[in-house]
Structure 1
Amino acid sequence: MPSDLLIACHQLLKEKKLTIAFAESATAGRLSAELSLIPECGDILKGGIVCYDACIKQDILGVPQEIVEEYTPESAEVTKELAERLSHFMKADIQVAVTGLTMPGGSETKEKPVGTIFIHLLIKNKAIAVRDVFSGTAEEIVLQTVDRVASLLIDELKL
């Protein structure tokens, strides 16, 4: 069941007649899936690409290998590239990209622990980049990320 925050975000997007598309790594499609459970989501949701593995980021979305190698697949730099490149595949008013670490492994370090999430929003070509560190199980981290994206969108669209 979608959170109240995501439902409020959906309503605001619908009122403003805005569409949204996702490039999801850490959330593995959960943003799109949660949004798809809200009635009339077809008015705003264009779709999403799950780019969990670095090869999808590079081979499908076209993120240069050098950027992935220099910054890691779970980084602000790669997340920015994903958001920018998503518009070549899905025309939407808003592009959202998410990478991060929901469980041990990947590019985890002391400076980038499990729970680190990178979000990059493009709202009519305005960029908003956020780095958060959440705690809990992998699912709890993913659901916190969904709500964080929703709150970022609400804050930005209410301006």
Structure 2
Amino acid sequence: MSTQHPDNVAMPFFAQSAPLTAEDEVREAYYAFSHLGCDEQMWDFEGKEVDGHVVEKLLSTYESFFAEHPIGESVHLTPRIPNPALEPTQAKVVLEVLQSLPRHADIARVFYDRERPPILELIHPMTTSARELDRVREYYERFVAGMEQVTLGA
């Protein structure tokens, strides 16, 4: 697994500016997959602004690479979410990530012309109990996946 921008002696060649921008992070993920041969890239949502449209940008910018190396099969994008038990001010970031998963799946379905969820796992840091993980799963099942059962109007 590649983590996002480890310390560098100099600005990486794929970066447009220092500090790295969200667009630089998208290029970095592509570089980790295509040039370094990594099969997984951690996408860190902890404590910073992050590009929530990374799947769409990777697929639209690097179409030929990801047509041959499907996200979620050959290569994996794994979001690292904040642990709300330890960082209560970041709890809504967890919800944003969970609520973005269906959008990423829709984009991948259109790109690959089949059901192809691009994000299969999340990293939940500094977990101290199974209950913390259960809360994330329960929220996803009830308020994200469960929304398919909700109808609007009378």
Q: Which has the larger radius of gyration?
A: 2
- Structure of higher RCO (CA pairs closer than 8 Å, 6+ residues apart): 1
Higher helix residue share: 2
TM range (shorter): 0.3 to 0.5
Q: Could you tell me the TM-score, scaled by structure 1's length?
A: 0.33
Q: Could you tell me the TM-score, scaled by structure 2's length?
A: 0.34
Higher strand residue share: 1
